[in-house]
Amino acid sequence: MSTARLTINLHALASNWQALNAKTDVETGAVVKSDAYGLGVGPVSSTLVEEGVRKFFVAAAEEGVAVRQAVGPGPMIGVFSGHMEGDTDLLRDHDLTPMINSPEQFVRHQQALPDHAFGIQLDSGMNRLGWEPADWAELRQKVEALKPVVVMSHLACSEEPDHPMNRQQLKTFRELTDGIDAPRSLAATGGMLLPPEFHFDFCRPGIGLYGGLPFADAKPVVTVDLPVIQVRPVEVGESVGYGNCWIARRPSRIATVAAGYADGLHRAIGGGIDVFAGGKPCPLVGRISMDLITVDVTDLPEDPERLRILNGHQTVDDLAEAAGTIGYEILTSLGARYSRGYVE
Residues with catalytic roles: 33, 242
Q: What is the dihedral of CA 297, 300, 302, 303, to 10 degrees?
A: -20
Would you say the C-alpha torsion 253, 337, 335, 46 has a positive or negative sign? negative
- Which of 187, 67, 59 has the alpha carbon at shortest distance from 129? 59
CA–CA distance, 231 with 233 (Å, rounded to integer):
7
Query: What's the CA angle centered on 122, arms 120 and 127, to 5 degrees?
Result: 140
How do beta strands 292-296 and 252-258 pair? antiparallel
Where are the strands (E) in 186-324, listed by range?
202-203, 222-234, 239-240, 246-247, 252-258, 274-277, 280-285, 292-296, 306-310
Q: In this structure, which amino acid lies at residue 301?
A: P
CA–CA distance, 192 with 204 (Å, rounded to integer):
8
Q: Which residues pair with 274 in a beta bridge?
A: 283
CA atoms within 13 A on the CB side of 283: 11
